[in-house]
Amino acid sequence: MKALVTGGAGFIGSHVTDALIDRGDEVICVDDCSAPQNHGFFWNDRAVNVRADIRDTGLRDQYEGVDVVFHLAARSRIQPTVGNPSECFSVNVMGTQEVLEASRLAGVTRVVYSSSSSYYGNRNTPPFREDMPPGCATPYSLSKWQGEQICDLYTRLYELSTVSLRYFNVYGPREPLHGGYAPVMGLFRRQVNEGEPMTVVGSGEQRRDFTYISDVVRANLLAAQRTEATGIFNIGTGTNYSILELTGLIGGPNAIVEHIDERVGETRETLADNTRARTELGWTHEVPLLDVINSYWQASVDAG
């Protein structure tokens, strides 16, 4: 199979790229290396690596002969998009439309779109099901939902096979570490390693469904293979932890914690109902947080 991975040198995308290459696929990796929170970019030298913006129509030649597109490129942090909504909508909405248009014109068989559990917001009661109404409270969550809608339009209007995966709080090696808005796992790891207190937003009672990177990669590969499965799928474990519980797991009983002000658009709880992913994609999570957290820190250091 020949695949094109947008955002293929970033956190999730680089793992998808590696998995595809390791199983023998031909991969084109597209990334513009613009994510400021990343502590590095992870190009696989066995891929065809293209440093470019997904909005650039000059990239369309790269889609020729591609079977499956994994679309992971995005402005992917919630709080920075509040301060810069224009760039968020340009990349996440118009960029997604260009990826789908280039795929359509090139005759791509399947597009796997990376979406977000932030869609559910605080409007819905966990566990979250895919048929719940949108609760988008930030430019990021709204832009990812609009990306889902564009995928649906291209499927209905142009018969381009698409599938959208709503990720729940992905963590693992290569995750973003920089800045105060880095995902909480990477942020806490950096703070502990540097001898700083772990900064907890608000009370810390918010709960998150943490999903390990290898489980997310498997979901992408299954979504590409199960072409009869279309629409939206939650990719989460169905178990969640409070942020304060997480500080204890990482820092132990004497963890040093500093509480900071609550943020606009902060979701109280994420928790996936993954029934549809289990029954239609054949996906189940394999890596519980409690089993991996200690070895994960060392793996993250080695990968970084």
The residues assigned a catalytic role are 140
The answer to whether the beta carbons of residues 271 and 240 sit under 8 Å apart is yes
What is the torsional sign of CA 29, 32, 38, 42? positive
Dmax over CA atoms of the chain, in Å, equals: 57
Classified as helix, coil or strand, 134 is coil
Residue 30 β-bridge partners: 6, 50
Q: Which amino acid is at 62?
A: Q
Closest by CA position to 89, among listed 141, 32, 152 = 141
Element (H, E) at 215: helix 213-225
Closest by CA position to 174, among listed 12, 7, 2, 1 = 12
Token pair in block for residue 68: 């499956």
Bond into 134 cis (ω within 30) = no
Number of other CB atoms surrounding residue 19 within 10 Å: 16
- Report the distance separating Cα 296 and Cα 212, nearest Å: 10
- Report the distance separating Cα 252 and Cα 276, nearest Å: 36
The answer to whether the beta carbons of residues 98 and 54 sit under 8 Å apart is yes
- Report the distance separating Cα 130 and Cα 235, nearest Å: 10
The answer to whether the beta carbons of residues 62 and 28 sit under 8 Å apart is yes
What single DSSP character describes residue 300?
H
